Structure formats: C-alpha cells, structure tokens
C-alpha cells in the first residue's frame, strides 16, 4: 500500500500546483454555475409574494439558506472528468498514461481533490457575502458540518465514478459528453437544485429516495440550513456507501471492456 500512497501523494502535489495556477479561472467556473442562485432568487420572490410570506413553511430567508447551501455543496461536487476522458481517448493522449504503473483514474481523482482545496477558501468568502446579502441563516452545530463533510466526500466519490464511467463511453461514441449532460439534469432535478425535494410530487420523491442524488446534494444542504437531522445524515451515508460499491464495480467493468476496444489514434 505504501508505494501506492507515495505515487498518489506526488500526483496530488503536482495537481495542486497546477490548480493554484488556475485560481482566476476557478472563480469564473464557480460563478458560471448559477442555476441554484437563480432558483434561490425566484423562490425568494415567490415567498415574498405568497400570502403569509411562506411556501410550504419556507420563508424567503429559508429559501436563501437552502439554496446557498446547495450552491456550496454543489460546488464541492463539481466533476469534469468526462470531458478530460473524451479528449484523451479521441486525441490518443491516454496512451502514454497506460504505461504508468498506476490506474490513470488516480491522476484525475487527485486533480479534482486538489481543485476543491483551492476552491474552498474562495467559496467561503463568496458564500458569506451572498448569505449576508440574501439574509440566509446556517446551522451553528459543528457536528452538522462533520456530517456534511462525510456526505460530501462520499457523494463526490460516487459522482466522480459515474462521470468517469460515462466519460469512458468515449471508447465507443463521440457523444459521451452529451450523455453526461443528460445525467446531470437528473442529478440536478432529484438532487434538489430546482427546489427542496419535499416540493416535488410524491411519486418523484418515491423514486428519488432510491437514487444517490438526494443524499449527496439536497441532504447536506438541508443539514446546513438546519432542516435535516443527524439520523437522516447517517441513513443517507449508508445509501451512498451502497451506491459507491455499485459504481466502483461499474467503473472497473467499463474500463476493462473499453480498454480492449481502444485503438490509439495513429496506432
């Protein structure tokens, strides 16, 4: 195990150096993911216009708390590996990586983690600013944030693996990134980017509880906004662990089968 950890540490430090170079871009990437901010503003407008100033028990300030929290969590779950794989497979730059004594997945994984660490402090500043502007209130219990961290690490890894599997479809098709966009839509809808899951029709909620999406995005956001309990966090973590096992297998299978199909450009 130690040689593996040494390789991972070196990969991580190079990726971290790379990502700090891109810090200006990271701010722009963060600001271009505006969907939850837009939904926040619309729901706040709706709550202000509703009789009693509330929709399903959510006041404008509750909406601000929930959607800023989804924005925060969503930023930590951002995964772009499908685009990188699409590029590497089509351009053939995957070939030299296959010669390395380590699955290329770890390079991508360390890059994503490094980017999150660069992103985190910038994000804290922006979230505090927006929270002050919109009048959001967050939970003050430290155990909540420990639970959020756990769910986010699990959720990020699950998402990374499914995006990786989708990206590997580049072995067969040139449209793999489009599949990724459609799956993103399901993630955004069931994760609760458009509204808290409780606002959806009952049948949608019944389906959603079997998917990993609500537990990686909506649940941590609800925890931060003070609308979910630690027991729910524990149950969510169990579901995510189940999905993690599924996607580890799926990724491994797609990788094995796809690699046989791979004929590098020019080979």
Q: Which residues bind another protein (CB under 8 A)?
A: 25, 28-29, 31-35, 38-39, 41-46, 48-50, 55-56, 173-175, 177-179, 181-182, 184-185, 188-189, 194-195, 199-201
Q: How far is the CB of 173 from another protein (least distance, A)?
A: 8
Nearer to another protein, 33 or 242 (CB): 33
Nearer to another protein, 56 or 143 (CB): 56
> Shortest CA distance to 74 belongs to which of 139, 152, 183, 154?
152
CB of 138 closer than 8 Å to CB of 131: yes
Q: How far is the CB of 19 from another protein (least distance, A)?
A: 15
Nearer to another protein, 39 or 158 (CB): 39
Q: How far is the CB of 130 from another protein (least distance, A)?
A: 12
Please report which helix (H) or strand (E) contains residue 9, including its range.
helix 2-21
Q: How far is the CB of 259 from another protein (least distance, A)?
A: 22
| Helix extents (H) in 169-265 | 176-191, 202-208, 213, 219-224, 230-261
Three-class SS state of 55: strand
Nearer to another protein, 13 or 175 (CB): 175
Q: How far is the CB of 56 from another protein (least distance, A)?
A: 7
Q: Which two tokens stand for residue 130?
A: 């927006």
Nearer to another protein, 71 or 109 (CB): 71
| Helix extents (H) in 50-174 | 60-76, 81-91, 94-98, 105-134, 142-168
Three-class SS state of 96: helix
């Amino acid at each position: 195990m130690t040689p593996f950890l040494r390789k991972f540490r070196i990969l991580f430090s190079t990726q971290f150096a790379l990502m700090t170079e891109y810090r200006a871009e990271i701010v722009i990437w963060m600001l271009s993911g505006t969907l939850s901010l837009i939904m926040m503003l619309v729901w706040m407008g709706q709550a202000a216009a509703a009789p009693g100033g509330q929709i399903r028990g959510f006041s404008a300030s509750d909406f601000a708390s929930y959607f800023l929290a989804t924005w925060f969590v969503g930023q930590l779950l951002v995964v772009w590996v499908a685009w990188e794989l699409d590029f590497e497979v089509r351009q053939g730059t995957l070939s030299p990586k296959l010669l390395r004594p380590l699955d290329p997945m770890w390079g991508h994984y360390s890059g994503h983690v490094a980017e999150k660490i660069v992103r985190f402090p910038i994000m804290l500043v922006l979230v505090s600013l927006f929270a002050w502007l919109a009048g959001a209130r967050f939970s003050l219990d430290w155990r909540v944030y420990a639970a959020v961290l756990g769910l986010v690490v699990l959720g990020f890894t699950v998402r990374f693996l499914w995006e990786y599997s989708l990206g590997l479809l580049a072995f067969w098709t040139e449209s793999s990134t489009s599949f990724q966009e459609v799956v993103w839509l399901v993630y955004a809808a069931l994760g609760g980017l458009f509204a808290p899951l409780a606002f959806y029709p009952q049948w949608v909620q019944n389906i959603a509880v079997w998917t990993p999406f609500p537990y990686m995005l909506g649940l941590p956001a609800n925890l931060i906004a003070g609308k979910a309990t630690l027991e729910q966090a524990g149950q969510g973590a169990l579901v995510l662990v189940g999905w993690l096992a599924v996607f580890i297998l799926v990724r491994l299978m797609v990788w094995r089968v796809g690699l046989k199909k791979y004929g590098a450009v020019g080979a």
